[in-house]
Structure 1
């Protein structure tokens, strides 16, 4: 079986915004407590942050982290997380039926971001709160001094403002599960008023308005249209969320979900254009896909806590999906989709970063390790910077419930002109056959394969654990070759690969 690809230097999609490789941390389960923060851990720094987790995050080169939610933010009082720790209140978190100690707030999160080399992307509460609290939070975080909230920040130990540029206007406000849920018209008016107030403080802010929680919502895509009609002139991005599941244990169908993701992006992109045309605007709005990941492995075990049968525990083990090799392929397909839609998807955040549906897992007092999905995320984030190529791909196809013609070979290509390197990310969806794939490098002089990484495993359900951390891990590839302006590589069945070519 064979596939062919054309990569032409003059045919590109867009420069990839580095922030498409962002991540997300919510006050949920053990993401913060026992995730990034565990003061009694042997690796903890002076601020109580786990050093082993920080090292794993640094390797990912994460450009931005969204915080503090998520569903959590819709009933969150940001003031609870500032000032002396011993004076901070414990609150009941209605979103996840747990208690929140507020031992970690914006100061601690900001210091951690500096440690791991990432930027903050903060969310304001538009569920139980509104314009006033959003502008106060913004003033606390970004004003130099000489006002009530900025002086309080200085009193709390941070003299210089953080100058956070990215702000989410609430979270999943279309969802009836959300504290303060609103219809599109009600939310659109509130978001527009909040955005106006925030822009009165700083016109250069990047504001992200809530889109649909997923494309199967009954309000989709009318939600996007109505919200954007209210907010188009005042925001820069609209957020989308999507999670991926293999509930019927049908791998070919599961791996076809990337088609549904493409339709989701295409529909919202078209809706943006519709509102732009209606408003006769010259401004462009982009997509912030600020929650995405595989999520279904932990659903059964989460039910007891989420039903409230265990009272209000602090930082219980929630949404702790243990990812397998099959999920490596799905995450690779998602990232390929974002690269190919880099013309409209400018921000994306894997949800989440540690313990909670995350590429990194920890044990309390014990080790931290990379889950299987860590690796495709790592390869894309570290090596997927540059310009996305408009590839022309010819591949054998198969049928799923998502599309009649799902190609077995899924590929994205990135040209890093500064480094003179082409990077290709490839997934073979075929259950049993290897596919010889030939990529024609048109307009690119010369060519040498400088890196070739392969992920494959005989057991789709293989996982990494604290005791067996490298059961599913990349291995050096063999056989990628360049001749006559073409590079060729064999893709084993159910495999993920990265090939880098120096030109």
Structure 2
């Protein structure tokens, strides 16, 4: 059998049992967060395009706003990402005509600051009350003083120089930012102001301590290692948490996935890696807590995750070009059915760890590795990856039930033997249950039997599947709706057992009442 070829799939069904006595934990709505960075066209001609026919009085594209609401995103991280490590927040406030243009070293472009801090907060309000801010602080080229100044400007009601400056700029009410990231990917050699774990741990602790002097109730995220493949992974977290354990609430995780050397089978099992990353960081956090004799639990903020093609973090620093364009087309991945199934599986992985992963951000929201695409002056449309996220956000609220599958397996080059079925289930407050399931087989359907104990479920509300005979099918500028979820017939519930058939290479949402 040639490498990358799936072995024949057994015909036996996959099985698991659901019981309300066995749960993982409650889902924090912020698990369905996203990310807006000043990268490529995420902001300019993405969410903000004043000359667009659908733009409102503030320049926000209302067609994009409608899709964001449909997507169901909650907290939105801003303004980076790598961008934040050179960010001067003062450039992004006040009269637009007075804001300076700056070179952005992270993505080798020119930042106009036309969309800034006030515009970001106003944008969140337009989405609705579910959209809350998650603000990243520059700990690359700046430090404690600038963090405190930003906090005072953003959150203090009035009566100080910076709070009164905000009011003079037209924002009478404080922004109320509760969730703050203490820098971004500071162990990455590509990061402006890159630091060792000891250096970063010290400045993060100093910043956290000072910010809590202004407001003890803020939620703070320390930088974890940027990727599991870095030599700093896990050791970085241990060193940073030794300095910050009693001062922060979360540590961050980042992960991006793509197929390597045509290895689709391993790509379909990307969630195996994601769950390994989560388990390793949880173990590291708990080890540090035990060593410090602390009863506190550090939770996880998986504040960058996605399928991503063509990410080159060294290109900017190695470029000899003198061209620094404004809002260039960068990382505008066009996502296929295959990619959507992997994104669905990653959402399952996050939900399965909802007891410790309390915040997560799909990177990013519009145009750059995003579920929503736009054309300047033209339409906005949903990518294939839009649908798993929207369905998970809509139906994945409540208590996560413990799912332990008995599944046929297949062999992968990267992860070894892997279950064909990846699944989780969430019980809502009204007692309804939603099963999220991925069939990783590229060749065959997978029968599924779920035993339901003590849940009082009597009917199948619906079974939605995202699948296609062409795994490379995608939605494009010329065909916005080539791929959409569709209803599946034949799924039944009787004698305490749910029975379904999962199509090859499919993302499935089965709702029970």
What does the per-residue CA deviation read over 1:208-238, in whole Å, with 9 as the maximum and x for residues that have no partner?
A: 0000110011111100000000000100000
| 2:405 alignment partner, one of 383, 389, 393 | 393
3-state DSSP of counterpart to 1:5: strand
The equivalent of 1:215 in structure 2 is 228
3-state DSSP of counterpart to 1:123: strand
Is 1:410 the equivalent of 2:391?
Answer: no
Q: Check whether the contact 2:250–2:300 (CA below 8 A) recurs between aligned residues.
A: yes
Shift of 1:402: 3.5
Partner Cα distance (2:102, 2:168) in 1: 24
The equivalent of 2:189 in structure 1 is 176
Q: Check whether the contact 1:291–1:351 (CA below 8 A) recurs between aligned residues.
A: yes
3-state DSSP of counterpart to 1:223: helix
Shift of 1:299: 4.8
Is 1:230 the equivalent of 2:223?
Answer: no
| 2:292 alignment partner, one of 279, 283, 294 | 279
* Cα RMSD for the two superposed structures: 1.4
What does the per-residue CA deviation read over 1:178-231, in whole Å, with 9 as the maximum and x for residues that have no partner?
A: 010000000000000000000000010000000011001111110000000000
Partner Cα distance (2:214, 2:353) in 1: 32
Write out aligned runs for 1:422-433 (5 A).
422-433=433-444
Shift of 1:308: 5.2
Distance change >3 Å, CA 446–CA 71, structure 1 → 2:
closer
Distance change >3 Å, CA 334–CA 280, structure 1 → 2:
same
Partner Cα distance (2:374, 2:251) in 1: 33
Distance change >3 Å, CA 167–CA 446, structure 1 → 2:
closer
Partner Cα distance (1:160, 1:204) in 2: 19
Q: Check whether the contact 1:185–1:227 (CA below 8 A) recurs between aligned residues.
A: yes
Structure 1 length as normaliser, TM-score? 0.97
Gaps of 5+ in 2: 1-10
Q: Check whether the contact 2:460–2:493 (CA below 8 A) recurs between aligned residues.
A: yes
Partner Cα distance (1:35, 1:420) in 2: 39
Write out aligned runs for 1:457-476 (5 A).
457-476=468-487
Partner Cα distance (1:325, 1:167) in 2: 34
The equivalent of 2:3 in structure 1 is none
The equivalent of 1:42 in structure 2 is 53
The equivalent of 1:134 in structure 2 is 147
| 1:159 alignment partner, one of 164, 172, 175 | 172
Structure 2 length as normaliser, TM-score? 0.96
3-state DSSP of counterpart to 2:416: coil
Partner Cα distance (1:461, 1:248) in 2: 16
Is 1:11 the equivalent of 2:28?
Answer: no
Q: Check whether the contact 2:34–2:362 (CA below 8 A) recurs between aligned residues.
A: yes
Q: Check whether the contact 1:96–1:306 (CA below 8 A) recurs between aligned residues.
A: no
The equivalent of 1:327 in structure 2 is 339
3-state DSSP of counterpart to 1:413: strand
Is 1:289 the equivalent of 2:302?
Answer: yes
Q: Check whether the contact 1:15–1:387 (CA below 8 A) recurs between aligned residues.
A: yes
Partner Cα distance (2:381, 2:75) in 1: 21
3-state DSSP of counterpart to 2:174: coil
Write out aligned runs for 1:42-81 (5 A).
42-81=53-92
3-state DSSP of counterpart to 1:288: strand
Q: Say how many residue pairs are matched.
A: 500
Partner Cα distance (2:349, 2:476) in 1: 29
